[in-house]
Every structure is written in C-alpha cells, then in structure tokens.
Amino acid sequence: MSLTIAEMYRELMAFAKAERQSPKQAQDPELEALMKKVDERHAKDALDLTDKQDRELGSTPERAERRMQERQEQNKKFAEERDRYISEYHETRRLQNEIRGREKEEALERGEDLDKGFSR
C-alpha cells in the first residue's frame, strides 16, 4: 500500500502530537504552540527523507537496511530535539520566574507596590 504525501504528512503530525501530549505540556499553550512548530518541521524533514529515498533506483537488502537506519537516526534526532526544546523552555520559565521574584522582593524592600505602580 502506497501513501500519498498528504496522508504521510497527516500520519506524521498525528504521531508527533501523540508523542508530545503530556499533561504538563497540554496545560501550557505557549509550549504547545512551540512544539507544534517543531513537529511541523520534523514532518517536513521526514517527508524530505522519504522523497530522497524514493528517488534512489533499485531495491537491495543493503539499501533497505540503510534506509531503515537513516529513518531510525532521524527519529532519534527528532526525539532528542523535542526533549531539548522542552527542557530549555522549562529552564527559561524557571529563570523568568526567579527574576520576577527578585524584582518584586527588591521593590517591596524599597517600599514600592508593583501591582499599583507607585511608591508608598
């Protein structure tokens, strides 16, 4: 059975969405949007690899093995990249919250009310 490019793309996007569905991520629309863009790029890259492999003439056991290895390496790279993006996103959020907390403490020490925007 041969899939069309559109069918392959839909399958890849569905797989990517299933891979990234964690309760923590689903509660963060910003992270969800970021990962959707990453998944779209991964789907395009996967289709590009498929196109490249389809242009090769002939089918030998060695070529089939190489294609399978290329796909496995690509999938591993995708998973590592997704994990890195998520980790960096959470670290950035942690640092932002830490900085905001310090700024609020410093403002309170100076007698400022950050929520109202004026000094007491």
SS3 1: coil
Count of helices and strands (H, E) across the chain: 4, 2
* Residues 89 and 34 sit within 8 Å (Cβ to Cβ): yes
- Taking the whole predicted model, whether its pTM rises above 0.85 is answered as no
SS3 112: strand
* Non-local CB neighbours of 107 within 8 Å, separated by 6+ positions: 113, 114
* Non-local CB neighbours of 110 within 8 Å, separated by 6+ positions: 119
What one-character DSSP code corresponds to residue 116?
Answer: T
Q: Where are the domains of the chain?
A: 5-21+31-110
- CA-to-CA distance for 13 and 11, rounded, in angstroms? 5
Task: Give the model's pLDDT for residue 16.
Answer: 64
Give me the tens of pLDDT residue by residue for the chain, a chain 120 residues long.
455 666 666 676 666 666 555 555 658 999 999 999 999 999 999 999 999 988 888 888 899 899 999 999 999 999 999 999 999 999 999 999 999 999 999 988 888 665 555 554
